[in-house]
């Protein structure tokens, strides 16, 4: 990977974040930063708190302690709507598509923040409402084209195989034209070809749109290939942070991964 | 089989997102409109108008309302009739107390009041989901009806609690004949159905469905749950309110709050389930089904009765109706949860692919 | 003050009857995750069957087990025809299915036994108990007291059933986690059948008591609607919740009727429980005894 | 043809002038059919041309064009031609290595390619192609950080600026074009030796296109789906030459794997596909019908039977009984029309197939359900334009009559010679090849053997080099006979012998699939191929096929002598691994003749059983002996019938 990318300005910084459910500590004093245009991976054994970290970043969970700095703004915590409005999009570990809708509609929902027509305008379907519908449809079609899912455009997502659903979910996130893209195990449960495709897409997104990406991934090969810097979590604590090679070398990481299958 | 789609390609998104993208469908819908607006008024009997067509249309509108809330936004409501009642009595009071009030405006006003009440009772939906919410809407059903009976002011202190709807006069023309009333209802329902369809296929509709299918994901992509849910309650209640007003003014004429009891709420819920949740078309199909079934049922029973003289009591017929509806609901939920609309859709697909099965 | 207590006690006693109906809901909900809207219809059905059988000249001692048998059969039928095909469907679907069920049962009941109102005499008069009146000057209905007693007994039995018997424990396991229960080889279908059977029995008791008090008629089904706020208050999974909820609702609605009613034109017990429950919901969505659910994503 | 319309760029300007607002090009992109009017296309082409000129593209230069059918790739052909340049479309699926030869042979300096994939390939080839200087791409996806390649958008920007600076430049350049100029070089994917660049002039293609358009009454209202390789002469005639001559609309599919869907959406009125496409379609139809409900299957079976009986006749406006007409009309409502619709062929007026022999049943099926499918004959050297089948005069075994302006002559050895304005100017930088294929009288030697039947239609029977003579002096065309045999589903491969013999004999490979089924349905047990092939029932079955072929041959005058007298069902399937077939499954006749000499001798002796042992390679690479006693079967032959009664 081009090492230069990790020297960009800091886009997101989390500082000393702690999160717990009832008594259970999910994250303890986590701090790291994400620089513009880089691909940042979060790895760690199951239950290390990776997903919780993402959920904190885009405001699904509210940490008891610590601050989040996004685009220079320091905050106690995020809230989902604000996060979305400020350009954070994400995908989920177990697919969170809208099962009752077509691929096209799913991706269109990704653009809801770009549409401002009131429901009355939409009911009459003239002027702004109509214009927005068509403009955003075009945007969505570009995403569809980008992710090569033209052939399933009008299929209900429920009918799609797992790999494609993952791709559609990515499409929905991309449709929002995010600045920061959070991917929660984008390649989990995929076969080799699907993984390769997904890797290609992640890299293309990063290159084509200059999107900063934070991803959780189990497949070490993938992580080492595509990420600029890697954070290693274990039992809610950060045990490693650096370039793939640095991390690969670190004893703490090796210990954490001893016996862990992937 | 009748479809000839080869060569019907889209050169603009406008054409691609049209409600009826296929030419054959456009032709069909045109024919239906023609029959509804021209043929039927010429042929139908007064009974057909007042006994079947008008209630069918009005209840379709209510069903659309409930469908928006339950089918699209996924918030189950058992209080539909109550919101209809609000619409009816609000319109009545607008007509009663505002001098020179145009009746259409009164209907809209009624709908608006219903919408406000809807928002009020929708508030719990922000904290609770599923049948907890259903119970909350029951509260609306009971409270509102109680309110309408107890507070004399709304019924203009009529001793019996029964109100008599004012005559429908628009631009000096009085809608007295069944045919005239039918056409009025048809136009209103038609327009509102179109509006509903537009919302459903637009950003609003997608937000609703997103909230229905996976609220967390919806939130993460920037949809405001509160806004979406309350809007669903408001729009839904508005539709029910207008339906209620029409129910009172065009169908019943003289109304008491009891006309909008829990049973009516259930009937409309049945229309949505049988017709198909999350489709506008389904609301009409369901309404037609629920309106016609009793008629057919009693006709057949009477027929059997007279021919095989089984001496079936009137009450038996209504109970039979109960059982059939109950059975059908279960049947549909088990066999085709998406209702008649889906069945229609499947049939249509078959026709499009004819002679191939898939 | 004395009057207040009189109302309160009256309320609490009728509250026990609500709990009785609510119990039916809780039982089924615990076992099969179904919110059985048809419970009220079952109450109605039970009472009507019993009365019907009596009218057919069947002696009460025979009619009782007979009705019980009918109820169990009905319950089994429901489990087989409605629940099994809908297993693993969203709860809301099951809920709507039971609404359909309600209509079906009501129709069935009235077609078989006719729709006219019947009286039901259990040999209990709804009259003040003399010695209580003498002692405290308060009028406490004998009927209510007995009804409450019966309800109390039933509840204890259920509690025992749940905690002491094998089936009861299995049932709790099922309630906690279907998959796990299946894994350890608990026959789900069978459990459900039993639960629905028991629910049927409870319906019978409730039906008799309510029927005896208000007459056996369609209105009985509304008792179920009364039970809903009870459940919201108590939480769907908790038997104690059902009882406490019942008492609160019973008492509060009576008090409200007596002390608030006059100012707003009366008849408020129709909705007051709901509004109460609703307000309560906003504060504690999972009910008094229900567990808080953390939704993972 | 009036002089001022003698080149493609001028035709384009003409269309922009007379039908500027009508659609010229469509492409399925971003979910809808993006449409460009003739005026817009003219403008785009102008920008492209000016861009190229601004960057030094000179008259007579050749522009390489590589990619799937994309509007801007078609347009860049015209752009090059407008500057007096020559378009050189190349096969987009070829590997980089193959690019090298063509790029060098055509001395390519400028190349316009479709996307990242093609860019990667051409950059890989570039080091070995010194002349190549400028590369432009259509689809920017993934090409952000590439060095030394420019996007067509940029090219057009430059062009528009240049155009502003030199307003008259474009029109002057177009005016300088002559119809005799070479407009395109098409490289023949030569099976033997290096590919040859076929130089065709504007005139040649324009004349051919006009001929074809007139012949089938094509006009600006027609539309066609452009999905075949741009480097292939057929696509250049249908999607480019006829497009600019008739002024109809070309439609570019979204991608290779959506062609069928796009076909269904567009519903073209004019369609071309090689036989295998039609074959696959039919197989799909049959497979999909398998899962249909019994009623539907019944309908389908009944009405396809009706169609087989009278469909073709009705299409050819021949007399048909009233009852049949009614039945057909009914079938049209219930089956044919819906079927045409789902196949995307409802609106087809003219459909052509060519390039290989098409099975009569296949051919008849499409015609019988009302699709006007016809055959044509031509080659790269003749602008794919020699013979066309006229409406109403369609036969499954001919390729039609001489196209307008084309002269056909059958040479001594039966080779088909053609002469006309559509002939190639020359092979690019290959005077030798040019000389050897065009004789002194200006006739082009097609290399195909054929004969003109009594109705004046040409029948292609074989490659000329394969045609031999029998002792009786009659012409012997093995492929022709073998094809006839292979049209039977039961026969997988056939090898005919007769060159220098008194009679024709044949080896036959049965088709395990269909014969296997056939046997099972009759409860004939068999252990494997060899066993099944030896069954007397199977011999009888194949015998019937052979005799049908004989019956047909008997009616074909000069070929009646080629009837098959004796045949053997081989004990093993001919197999590329044993070098009996080429990788493309063409029989290697001589090799087989050697390897199975014994059998041939037996065929021409009076023995009726022959023992043979053959060495075979198995999948796992091991090899072993297969031994068998093969029966030799006589087949009935008929006296040469008078061809007239047959036709």
Residues B30-42: pLDDT tens digits? Answer: 999 999 999 999 9
Residue range C219-238: average pLDDT? 80
Render pLDDT for D43-70 as a digit per residue (tens, 0 to 9).
Answer: 999 999 999 999 999 999 999 999 999 9
Q: Per DSSP, which regions of D438-533 are E strands?
A: 444-452, 458-463, 468-469, 475-476, 491-497, 504-510
**From B131, B146, B262, residue closest to C91, measured CB to CB:** B131
In a domain, C155, yes or no: yes
In a domain, C272, yes or no: no
Which pLDDT band, with edges at 50, 70 and 90, does C288 fall under?
Answer: low
Each residue's pLDDT tens digit, D499-531: 989 999 999 999 888 898 889 888 889 988 888
- Distance separating alpha carbons of residues D401 and D394, to the nearest angstrom: 10
Q: How far is B30 from chain D (nearest CA, A)?
A: 23
Shortest CA distance to A227 belongs to which of A237, A240, A238, A242?
A242
CB B257 within 8 A of CB B141: no
Which of B181-190, C11-20, C57-66, C92-101 is modeled with the greatest confidence? B181-190
pLDDT in the model for residue D646: 37
Rg (C-alpha) for chain B, rounded Å, is 21
Q: Mutate which of B16, B24, B355, B358 to disrupt the D interface (most D C-beta within 10 Å)?
A: B355
Q: B209 at the A interface (CB within 8 A)? A: yes
Q: With an 8 Å Cβ cutoff, are D266 and B357 in contact?
A: no
- Report residue A2's pLDDT band, with 50, 70 and 90 as the boundaries: very low
Regions of chain B where pLDDT drops below 70: 310, 312
Task: Give the mean pLDDT of D351-376.
Answer: 90
pLDDT score of D647 more than 80: no
H or E element that contains B254: strand B254-255
Q: Is B355's CB within 8 Å of D300's CB?
A: yes
> What's the total number of domains in chain C?
1
Q: Which pair of tokens denotes residue D326? A: 């009614």
Q: What is the bridge-based pairing of β-strands D32-37 and D23-29? A: antiparallel
C-alpha–C-alpha distance, residues B330 and B324, integer Å = 10
Domain span at residue C138 reads: 15-222
What is the average pLDDT across A186-213? Answer: 91
Q: Does A124 touch chain B (CB under 8 A)?
A: yes
pLDDT at position C292 is 56
Q: At C247, list the tokens.
A: 């008492």
Q: What structural domains does chain D harbor?
A: 3-252 (3.40.50.12780), 468-646 (3.30.300.30)
How close, in Å, is residue B165 to chain A by CA atoms?
29
Alpha-carbon distance A14 to nearest alpha carbon in chain B (angstroms): 19
Return the partners of chain A (3 or more C-beta pairs < 8 Å): B, C, D
pTM: 0.88
> In b/e form, how buried is each residue of B115-141, taking b as 16+ CB within 10 angstroms?
bebbeebbebbeebbebbbbbbbbbbb
Segment A170-196 shows an average pLDDT of 93
Least confident of B134-138, D17-21, D236-240: B134-138
So what's the pLDDT on residue D70? 96
Residue among B3, B13, B358 minimizing CB distance to D32: B13
Highest mean pLDDT among C61-75, D202-216, D308-322: D202-216
Could D339 and B1 be called an inter-chain contact, meaning their C-beta atoms sit closer than 8 Å?
no
> Is residue B206 within 8 angstroms of chain A, CB to CB?
yes
User: Does A53 score more than 90 pLDDT?
Assistant: yes
Q: Which of D30, D257, D261 sits opposite A142 (nearest CB)?
A: D30
Whether the per-residue pLDDT at A4 is higher than 80: the answer is: no
Residue D403 — φ and ψ, nearest 5°?
-70, 155
Lowest mean pLDDT among A23-37, C18-32, D279-293: C18-32
Least confident span in A188-202, B292-306, D272-286: B292-306
D463, D449 contact by CB (below 8 A): yes
State chain C's mean pLDDT as an integer.
Answer: 80
Instruction: Among B5, B13, B356, select the one facing D289 at the smallest CB separation.
Output: B356
Put simply, the answer to whether D30 touches A204 (Cβ < 8 Å) is: no
Buried b (16+ CB within 10 A) or exposed e, A111-137: bbbebebebebbbbbeeebbebbeebb
CB proximity B119 to A under 8 Å: no
pLDDT score for B239: 98
Residue with tokens 């500057």: D83
Does residue C285 surpass a pLDDT of 90? no
Q: How many Cβ atoms sit within 10 Å of the Cβ of residue B55?
A: 20
CA distances to B7, C263, D225, D258, D277 from D344, rounded to whole Å, are 8, 75, 11, 13, 14
A212 close to A180: Cβ distance less than 8 angstroms: yes
At B346, list the tokens.
């499947």
Q: Are the CB atoms for D491 and D545 separated by under 8 Å?
A: yes
| CA-based nearest distance D231→chain A, Å | 26
Q: Is the residue at C79 inside a domain?
A: yes
- For residue D644, count other CB atoms closer than 10 A to its CB: 10
Determine the pLDDT at residue C131.
Answer: 74
Does the pLDDT of residue C36 top 90, yes or no? no
Predicted confidence (pLDDT) at residue D578 exceeds the cutoff of 80: yes
Q: Is the CB of residue A97 less than 8 Å from the CB of residue A41?
A: no
Integer Cα distance of A188 and A172 in angstroms? 18
Q: Give the one of A21, A22, A92 whose C-beta lies nearest to C297's C-beta.
A: A92
Report how far residue D5's alpha carbon sits from residue D7's, in angstroms, rounded to the nearest whole number: 6
Closest Cβ opposite residue B13 in set A129, A134, A173: A134
Q: Which residues of A touch B235 (CB under 8 A)?
A: 119
Which pLDDT belongs to residue C93?
83
According to the model, what pLDDT value does residue A261 have?
42
Give chain B positions within 8 Å (CB) of D265: 5-10
Which region among B88-102, C9-23, C92-106 has the lowest average model confidence (pLDDT)? C9-23
pLDDT of residue B160: 81
Is residue C263 in a domain? no
User: Taking all residues of chain D, what is their mean pLDDT, rounded to a whole number?
Assistant: 91
- Residue D377 is predicted with a pLDDT of 93
pLDDT in tens, D130-146: 999 999 999 998 888 89
**Cβ distance B241 to B110 under 8 Å?**
yes
Phi first, then psi: give them for residue C109, nearest 5 degrees: -55, -50
Percent of chain D residues topping a pLDDT of 90: 65
Contact B139 C99 (CB under 8 A): no
Residue pointed to by tokens 């395109």: D184
Integer angstrom CA distances of residue C36 from B93, B207, B266, C227, D543: 39, 31, 16, 11, 75
Length of chain B: 358
CB contact under 8 A, C297 and A21: no
* Domain ranges (residues) in chain A: 3-87+178-257
pLDDT beyond 90 at C269: no
Cβ-in-10-Å burial (0-12, 13-18, 19+) of D454 comes to: exposed
Contact (CB<8Å) B357/D293: yes
In a domain, C201, yes or no: yes
B103-122 and B225-246 are packed helices; what angle lies between their axes, rounded to 10 degrees? 140
What is the predicted pLDDT for the residue at D142?
84
Whether residue B132 contacts residue C281, with contact meaning beta carbons closer than 8 Å, is answered with: yes
pLDDT at residue A185 in the model: 92
Average pLDDT over residues C235-256: 84
The nearest CA of chain D is from the CA of B265 a distance in Å of: 41
For the domain covering A3-87+178-257, report its CATH number: 3.40.50.300
Is residue C269, in this structure, part of any structural domain at all? no
């Amino acid at each position: 990977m081009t090492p230069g990318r990790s020297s960009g300005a800091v886009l997101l910084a989390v500082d000393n974040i702690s999160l717990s459910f009832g008594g259970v500590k999910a994250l303890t004093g986590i701090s790291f930063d994400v620089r513009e245009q880089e691909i940042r991976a979060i790895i760690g054994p199951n239950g290390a708190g990776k997903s919780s970290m993402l959920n904190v970043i885009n405001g699904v969970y509210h940490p008891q302690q610590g601050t989040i700095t996004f685009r220079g703004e320091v905050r106690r915590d995020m809230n989902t709507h604000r996060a979305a409005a400020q350009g954070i999009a994400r995908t989920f570990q177990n697919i969170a598509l809208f099962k009752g809708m077509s691929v096209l509609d799913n991706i269109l929902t990704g653009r809801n923040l770009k549409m401002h027509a009131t429901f009355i305008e939409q009911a009459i379907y003239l002027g702004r409402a109509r214009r927005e519908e068509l403009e955003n449809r075009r945007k969505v079609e570009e995403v569809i084209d980008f992710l090569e899912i033209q052939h399933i455009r009008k299929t209900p997502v429920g009918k799609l195989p797992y790999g494609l659903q993952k791709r559609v979910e990515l499409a929905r996130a991309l449709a929002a034209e995010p600045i920061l893209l959070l991917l929660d195990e984008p390649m989990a449960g995929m076969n080799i070809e699907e993984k390769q495709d997904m890797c290609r897409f992640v890299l293309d997104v990063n290159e084509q749109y200059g999107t900063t990406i934070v991803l959780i991934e189990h497949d070490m090969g993938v992580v080492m290939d595509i990420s600029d810097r890697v954070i290693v979590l274990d039992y809610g604590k950060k045990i490693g942070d650096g370039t793939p090679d640095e991390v690969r070398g670190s004893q703490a990481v090796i210990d954490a991964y001893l016996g862990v299958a992937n | 089989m009748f479809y000839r789609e080869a060569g019907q390609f889209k050169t603009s998104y406008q054409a691609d997102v049209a409600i009826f993208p296929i030419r054959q469908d456009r032709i069909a819908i045109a024919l239906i409109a023609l029959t509804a607006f021209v043929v039927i008024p010429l042929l139908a009997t007064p009974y057909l108008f007042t006994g079947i067509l008008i209630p069918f249309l009005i209840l379709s509108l209510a069903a659309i309302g409930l469908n928006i809330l339950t089918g699209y936004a996924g918030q189950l409501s058992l209080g539909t009739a109550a919101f209809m009642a609000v619409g009816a009595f609000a319109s009545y009071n607008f007509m009663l107390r505002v001098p020179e009030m145009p009746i259409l405006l009164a209907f809209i006003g009624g709908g608006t009041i219903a919408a406000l009440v809807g928002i009020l009772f929708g508030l719990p939906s922000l904290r609770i989901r599923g049948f907890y919410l259903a119970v909350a809407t029951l509260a609306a059903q009971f409270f509102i009806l109680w309110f309408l009976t107890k507070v004399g002011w709304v019924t203009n202190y009529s001793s019996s609690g029964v109100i008599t709807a004012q005559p429908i006069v628009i631009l000096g023309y009085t809608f007295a004949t069944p045919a005239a009333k039918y056409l009025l209802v048809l136009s209103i329902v038609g327009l509102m159905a179109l509006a509903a369809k537009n919302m459903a296929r637009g950003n609003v509709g997608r937000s609703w469905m997103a909230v229905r299918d996976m609220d967390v994901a919806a939130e993460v992509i920037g949809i405001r749950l509160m806004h979406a849910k309350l809007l669903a309650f408001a729009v839904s209640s508005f539709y029910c309110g207008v339906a209620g007003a029409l129910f009172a003014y065009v169908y019943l004429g003289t109304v008491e709050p009891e006309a909008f009891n829990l049973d009516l709420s259930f009937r409309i819920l049945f229309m949505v389930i049988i017709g198909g949740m999350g489709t506008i078309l389904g609301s009409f199909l369901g309404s037609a089904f629920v309106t016609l079934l009793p008629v057919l049922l009693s006709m057949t029973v009477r027929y059997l009765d007279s021919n095989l003289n089984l001496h079936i009591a009137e009450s038996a017929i209504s109970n039979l109706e109960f059982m059939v509806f109950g059975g059908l609901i279960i049947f549909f939920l088990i066999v085709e949860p998406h209702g008649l609309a889906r069945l229609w859709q499947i049939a249509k697909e078959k026709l499009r692919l004819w002679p191939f099965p898939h | 003050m004395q009057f207040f207590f009189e109302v309160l006690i009256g309320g609490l006693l009728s509250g026990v009857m609500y709990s009785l109906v609510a119990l039916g809901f809780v039982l089924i909900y615990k076992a099969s995750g179904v919110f059985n809207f048809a419970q009220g219809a079952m109450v109605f059905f039970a009472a009507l069957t019993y009365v019907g059988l009596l009218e057919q000249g069947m002696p009460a001692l025979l009619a009782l087990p007979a009705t019980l048998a009918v109820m169990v059969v009905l319950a089994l039928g429901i489990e087989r025809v409605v629940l099994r095909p809908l297993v693993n469907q969203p709860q809301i679907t099951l809920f709507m299915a039971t609404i359909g069920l309600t209509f079906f049962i009501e129709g069935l009941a009235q077609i078989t036994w006719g729709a006219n109102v019947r009286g039901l005499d259990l040999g209990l008069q709804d009259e003040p108990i003399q010695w209580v009146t003498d002692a405290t000057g308060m009028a406490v209905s004998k009927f209510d007291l007995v009804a409450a007693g019966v309800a109390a007994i039933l509840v204890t039995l259920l509690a025992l059933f749940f905690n002491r018997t094998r089936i009861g424990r299995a049932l709790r396991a099922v309630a906690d986690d279907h998959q796990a229960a299946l894994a350890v080889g608990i026959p789900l279908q069978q459990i459900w059948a039993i639960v629905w059977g028991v629910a049927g029995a409870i319906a019978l008791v409730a039906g008799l008591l309510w029927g005896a008090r208000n007459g056996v008629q369609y209105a009985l089904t509304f008792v179920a609607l009364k039970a809903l706020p009870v459940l919201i208050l108590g939480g769907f999974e908790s038997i104690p919740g059902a009882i406490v909820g019942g008492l609160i609702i019973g008492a509060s609605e009576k008090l409200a009727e007596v002390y608030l009613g006059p100012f707003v034109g009366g008849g408020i017990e129709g909705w007051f429980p709901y509004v109460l429950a609703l307000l309560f919901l906003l504060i504690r969505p999972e009910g008094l005894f229900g567990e808080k659910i953390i939704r993972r994503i | 043809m009036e002089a001022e319309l003698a080149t493609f760029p001028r035709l384009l300007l003409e269309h922009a002038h007379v039908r500027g607002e009508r659609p010229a090009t469509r492409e399925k992109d971003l979910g809808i059919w993006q449409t460009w009017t003739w005026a817009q296309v003219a403008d785009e082409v102008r920008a492209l041309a000016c861009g190229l000129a601004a960057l030094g593209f000179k008259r007579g230069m050749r522009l390489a064009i590589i990619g799937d059918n994309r509007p801007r790739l078609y347009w860049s052909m015209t752009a090059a031609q407008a500057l007096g340049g020559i378009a050189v479309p190349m096969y987009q699926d070829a590997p980089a290595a193959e690019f090298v030869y063509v790029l060098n042979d055509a001395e390519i300096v400028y190349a316009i390619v479709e996307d990242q994939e093609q860019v990667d390939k051409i950059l890989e080839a570039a080091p070995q192609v010194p002349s190549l200087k400028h590369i432009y791409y259509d689809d920017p996806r993934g090409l952000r950080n590439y060095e030394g390649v420019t996007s067509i958008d940029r090219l057009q920007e430059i062009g528009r600026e240049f155009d502003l600076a030199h307003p008259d430049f474009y029109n002057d350049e177009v005016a300088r074009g002559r119809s005799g100029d070479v407009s395109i070089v098409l490289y023949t994917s030569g099976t033997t030796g290096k590919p040859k660049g076929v130089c065709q002039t504007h005139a040649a293609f324009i004349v051919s296109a006009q001929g074809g358009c007139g012949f089938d009454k094509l006009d600006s209202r027609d539309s066609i789906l452009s999905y075949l390789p741009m480097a292939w002469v057929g696509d250049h005639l249908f999607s480019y030459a006829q497009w600019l001559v008739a002024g109809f609309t070309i439609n570019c599919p979204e991608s290779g794997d959506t062609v069928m869907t796009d076909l269904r959406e567009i519903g073209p009125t004019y369609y071309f596909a090689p036989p295998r496409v039609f074959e696959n379609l039919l197989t799909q139809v049959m497979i999909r019908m398998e899962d249909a409900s019994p009623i539907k299957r019944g309908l389908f079976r009944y009405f396809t039977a009706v169609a087989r009986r009278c469909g073709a006749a009705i299409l050819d406006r021949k007399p048909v009984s009233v009852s049949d007409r009614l039945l057909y009309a009914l079938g049209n409502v219930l089956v044919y029309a819906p079927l045409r619709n789902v196949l995307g062929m409802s609106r087809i007026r003219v459909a052509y197939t060519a390039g290989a022999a098409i099975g009569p049943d296949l051919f008849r099926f499409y015609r019988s359900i009302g699709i006007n499918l016809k055959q044509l004959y031509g080659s790269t050297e003749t602008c794919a334009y020699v013979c066309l089948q006229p409406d109403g005069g369609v036969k499954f075994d001919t390729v039609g009559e001489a196209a307008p302006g084309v002269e056909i002559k059958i040479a001594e050895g039966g080779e088909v010679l053609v002469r006309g304005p559509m002939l190639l100017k020359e092979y690019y930088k290959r005077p030798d090849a040019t000389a050897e294929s065009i004789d002194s009288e200006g006739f082009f030697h097609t290399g195909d053997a054929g004969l003109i039947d009594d109705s004046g239609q040409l029948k292609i029977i074989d490659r000329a080099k394969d045609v031999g003579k029998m002792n009786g002096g009659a012409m012997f065309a093995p492929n022709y006979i073998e094809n006839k045999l292979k049209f039977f589903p039961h026969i997988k491969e056939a090898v005919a012998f007769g060159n220098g013999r008194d009679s024709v004999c044949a080896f036959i490979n049965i088709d395990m699939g269909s014969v296997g089924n056939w046997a099972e349905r009759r409860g004939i047990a068999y252990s494997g191929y060899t066993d099944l092939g030896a069954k007397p029932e199977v011999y009888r079955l194949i015998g019937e096929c052979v005799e049908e072929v004989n019956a047909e041959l008997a009616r074909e005058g000069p070929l009646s002598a080629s009837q098959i007298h004796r045949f053997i069902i081989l004990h093993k399937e001919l197999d590329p691994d044993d070098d009996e077939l080429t990788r493309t499954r063409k029989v290697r006749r001589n090799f087989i003749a050697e390897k199975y000499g014994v059998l041939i001798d037996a065929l021409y002796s009076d023995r009726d059983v022959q023992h043979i042992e053959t060495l075979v390679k198995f999948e796992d690479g091991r090899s072993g002996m297969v031994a068998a006693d093969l029966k030799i079967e006589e087949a009935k032959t008929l006296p040469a019938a008078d061809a007239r009664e047959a036709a």
